[in-house]
């Protein structure tokens, strides 16, 4: 290893010019990344992680500037370089993967032209050679239908596909420094595992130095050699990865780790502890320790004196006045609240019963043999013969990769997608019809929390009015019985306001939020408003579609704990759609695993998370990044791409990617349903004894 770091950031300060005054967004940030080394930069949204990354490539915008410090690339100063010099470095020696792929891709260019542009400009390849390398790069990130993707425009790809294009583009020229800003947030755990394997391969083969920005501590633990924790524009702790995960010394670092659900911890054995409060705005930084308002170990001197980075052991730096006392990672004693005691025996009657549900989407006609008039109708079989039962007071977690039909099934349950075939029975009433044909009473009792609160909240109305609209629509303030029309009449305005405030308090927001507009809220606050609106009608069941996928770990912990408290208080039945198997294990009583439109395994949560598993479940569990750098990496990986839902494989639909398939049997015959006892079922040709041997 060279003695000169690939990237050295020294006492970096970044300010943004506003109409009132200059705002200091980053203060005194220092770190080094050597050849073949990965540095994980972690922290909540608003801590300045992306701002530091943008400063390296000079993308701070017209009102941003580096106000102090140094940025050295291979010992050479990057500050003050001309735009032409920086342009030569970007793409060839320094590559960046951005968090928002749609903003980074050119909407007027096809994917093949965007990928080939850097190869032609920096390496002088011909169009034919560049195309060959672009195809190989997309295959390395497990892009489905590579040839088709190359011909498309960015808006014709899903968010996950756009992110994979950016990752492939960044890796094309084998850069010396790779900066990755939340590159796997929108990806499935299986694709995330493949991308992390690719980053490790780059490190081993090309000695690439990587700055990896993430709020996922499990990912950081797996790929990073060192970790730097940022809070409110400062690095509050940095150390080798193993050291910082085994002995966190700053209360903020320890707080982040307590927010993580553990995929290996049985349900109810571990409590998530959200960090109270929020990251302060850059113009409202406390005078003393920046973390003092949220710290449970604070003392009077913490509010008056700003701590400096101090070294504790080899390479372990901490910015805390009490770090020398030790044991700050331990939380003060408090009673454990077991929120998992959601009774499975108090009210075992089914709330939702779905039988042989199919949701198909018609695709354009395809001519047969080129003859006009002979067309064949084709369908995307998004949900193909799914049956399940959800019982009162329990939570069903539905997991699987993108495109497996989870969200489509959820939308069909609440009536947003019409059924092609099958039957849905909710509280004993047939609700198989689309939403517009359902009774108001059934809509009131079945609500949904959507993945993107920005697409649900009306930007023109304040939060309180939107929750109040739900109350008035369903007459939720007036007494009534289940699935019966409640008495007509307008709810008095004073009753509505009080009920809205009560709902805001229930989701840990105060009365001040009533008149705030959605743009004035953070992502976690918007999601809490979405939850408040969903529970406003006091529904019997709530369907949650990826409610925490885009949130920080601290906000995710708060939302999951909030949902559990609501369920415990109201005995609300819930369905949780997620690709995060850790969150599903923490929250769910029962789990269904979906693949290509069908459920391949279902049963009680604890049975699903221990062998025997379906081979697909095993691969999903193996791909989950654990927040423990001492664990050896698991190399059970899915090969190939997810088949098309228009023409799914015969026999077992998973056989094209299954590492344990039994020859032609899996290709020819649909797998039998195996009852393993206690409600645990697996659809697989492998015998239970063989499945028991396959461990994630």
Question: pLDDT per residue over 480-529, tens digit each?
Answer: 434 444 443 344 556 788 889 989 988 878 898 999 999 888 777 888 89
Q: Does residue 338 register a pLDDT over 70?
A: no
Rounded to whole angstroms, the Cα distance separating 693 from 293 reads 50
**What digits encode the pLDDT tens for the residues 616-635?**
999 999 888 888 888 876 66
Q: 253-269 pLDDT, tens per residue?
A: 999 999 988 888 877 77
CA 464 distance to own-chain centroid: 28
Residue 473 has pLDDT above 60, yes or no: yes
Q: In whole angstroms, what is the distance from residue 268 CA to residue 338 CA?
A: 6
pTM of the model: 0.85
Strand, coil or helix: 351: strand
pLDDT tens per residue across span 50-63: 999 999 988 898 89
Kindly give, in sequence order, each residue whose CB lies less than 8 Å from that of residue 468, ignoring residues fewer than 6 positions away.
496, 497, 500
Task: Measure the CA angle with vertex 551, ends 470 and 201; round to 5°.
Answer: 150
What's the mean per-residue pLDDT of the chain? Answer: 85
Can you tell me the distance from the alpha carbon of 587 to that of 628, in angstroms, rounded to the nearest whole number?
21
Helix (H) or strand (E) holding 140: helix 127-140
CA-to-CA distance for 458 and 444, rounded, in angstroms?
20
Residues 503, 532 contacting (CB under 8 angstroms):
yes
CA dist 142 and 160 (Å) reads: 11
Range(s) within the chain of domains with CATH label 3.40.50.300: 7-83+176-325, 350-548+568-581
Alpha helices in 142-263 (DSSP H): 146-150, 159-171, 189-206, 217-223, 241-246, 251-258
The answer to whether 235 touches 31, Cβ cutoff 8 Å, is yes
Question: pLDDT category, 559, cuts 50, 70, 90?
Answer: confident
Please give the CATH number for the structural domain made up of 7-83+176-325: 3.40.50.300
For residue 47, CA distances in Å to 26, 230, 232, 414 come to 8, 6, 4, 38
Burial class (CB in 10 A: 0-12, 13-18, 19+), 344: middle
Rg (CA), the chain: 26
Q: What is the CATH number of domain 350-548+568-581?
A: 3.40.50.300
Per-residue pLDDT at 479 = 43
Cα–Cα distance measured from residue 207 to residue 632, given in angstroms and rounded to the nearest whole number: 21
DSSP conformation class of 90: B
State the Cα angle at 296 between 291 and 301, rounded to 5°: 65
Q: What HEC string does 446-503 produce?
A: EEEECCCHHHCCCCCCCHHHHHHHHHHHHCCCCCCCCCCCCCCCCCCHHHHHHHHHHH
Q: How close are the terminal C-alpha atoms of the chain, in Å?
A: 35
Tokens at residue 184, please?
């796997």
The side-by-side arrangement of strands in the sheet containing 209-214 is 94-97, 177-181, 209-214, 38-42, 226-231, 234-240, 317-318, 310-311
Q: Is the pLDDT score of 327 beyond 60?
A: no
Q: Is 692 exposed, middle or buried (0-12, 13-18, 19+ CB in 10 A)?
A: middle
């Amino acid at each position: 290893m060279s003695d000169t770091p690939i990237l050295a950031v020294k006492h970096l300060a970044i300010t943004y010019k506003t109409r009132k005054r200059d705002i200091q967004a980053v203060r005194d940030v220092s770190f080094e990344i050597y050849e073949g080394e990965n540095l994980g930069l972690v922290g909540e949204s608003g801590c300045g992680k992306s701002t530091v990354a943008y400063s390296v490539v000079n993308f701070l915008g017209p009102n941003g500037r580096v106000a102090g410090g140094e940025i050295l690339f291979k010992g050479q100063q990057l500050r003050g370089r001309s735009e032409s010099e920086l342009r030569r470095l970007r793409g060839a020696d320094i590559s960046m993967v951005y968090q928002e792929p749609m903003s980074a891709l050119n909407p007027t260019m096809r994917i093949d032209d965007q990928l080939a542009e850097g190869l032609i400009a920096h390496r002088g390849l011909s169009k034919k050679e560049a195309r060959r390398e672009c195809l190989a790069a997309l295959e390395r990130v497990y892009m489905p239908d590579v040839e088709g993707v190359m011909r498309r425009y960015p808006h014709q790809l899903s968010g996950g596909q756009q992110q994979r294009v950016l990752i492939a583009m960044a890796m094309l020229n084998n850069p010396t420094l790779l900066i990755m800003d939340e590159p796997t947030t929108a990806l499935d755990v299986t694709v995330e595992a493949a991308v992390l394997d690719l980053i490790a391969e780059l490190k081993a083969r090309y000695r690439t130095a990587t700055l990896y920005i993430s709020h996922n501590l499990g990912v950081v633990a797996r790929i990073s050699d060192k970790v730097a924790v940022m809070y409110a524009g400062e690095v509050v702790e940095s150390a080798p990865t193993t050291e910082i995960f085994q002995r966190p010394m700053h209360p903020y670092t320890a707080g982040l780790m307590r927010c993580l659900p553990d995929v290996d911890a049985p349900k109810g054995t571990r409590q998530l502890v959200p960090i109270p409060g929020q990251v302060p705005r850059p113009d409202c930084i406390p005078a003393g320790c920046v973390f003092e308002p949220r710290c449970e170990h604070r003392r009077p001197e913490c509010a008056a004196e700003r701590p400096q980075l101090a070294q504790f052991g080899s390479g372990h730096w901490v910015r805390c006045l009490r770090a020398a006392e030790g044991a700050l990672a331990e939380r003060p004693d408090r009673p454990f609240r077991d929120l998992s005691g959601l009774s499975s025996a108090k009210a075992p009657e089914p709330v939702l019963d779905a039988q042989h549900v199919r949701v198909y989407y018609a695709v354009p006609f395809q001519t047969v043999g080129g003859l006009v008039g002979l067309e064949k109708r084709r369908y995307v079989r998004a949900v193909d013969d799914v049956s399940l039962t959800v019982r009162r007071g329990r939570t069903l977690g539905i997991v699987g990769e993108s495109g497996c039909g989870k969200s489509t099934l959820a939308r069909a349950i609440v009536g947003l997608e019409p059924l092609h075939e099958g039957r849905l029975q909710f509280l004993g009433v047939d609700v198989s019809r689309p939403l517009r044909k359902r009774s108001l009473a059934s809509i009131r009792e079945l609500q949904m929390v959507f993945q993107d609160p920005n697409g649900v909240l009306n930007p023109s109305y304040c939060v309180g009015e939107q929750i109040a609209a739900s109350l008035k629509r369903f007459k939720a303030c007036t007494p009534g019985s289940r699935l019966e029309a409640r008495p007509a009449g307008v709810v008095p305005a004073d009753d509505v306001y009080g009920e809205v405030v009560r709902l805001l308090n229930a989701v840990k927001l105060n009365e001040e939020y009533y008149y705030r507009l959605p743009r004035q809220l953070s992502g976690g606050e918007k999601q809490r408003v979405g939850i408040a609106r969903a529970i406003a009608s006091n529904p019997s069941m709530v369907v949650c579609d990826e409610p925490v996928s885009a949130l920080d770990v601290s906000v995710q912990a708060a939302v999951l704990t909030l949902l559990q408290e609501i369920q415990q208080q109201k005995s609300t039945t819930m369905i949780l759609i997620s690709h995060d198997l850790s969150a599903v294990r923490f929250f769910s009583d029962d789990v269904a695993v979906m693949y290509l439109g069908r459920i391949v395994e279902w049963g009680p949560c604890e049975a699903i998370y221990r062998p025997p598993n379906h081979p697909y479940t095993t691969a999903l569990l193996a791909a989950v990044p654990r927040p423990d750098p001492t664990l050896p990496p698991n190399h059970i990986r899915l090969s190939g791409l997810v088949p098309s839902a228009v023409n799914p494989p015969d026999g077992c639909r998973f056989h094209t990617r299954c590492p344990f398939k039994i020859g032609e049997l899996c290709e020819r015959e649909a797998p039998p349903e195996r009852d393993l006892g206690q409600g645990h079922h697996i659809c697989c040709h492998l015998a239970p004894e063989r499945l028991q041997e396959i461990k994630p």
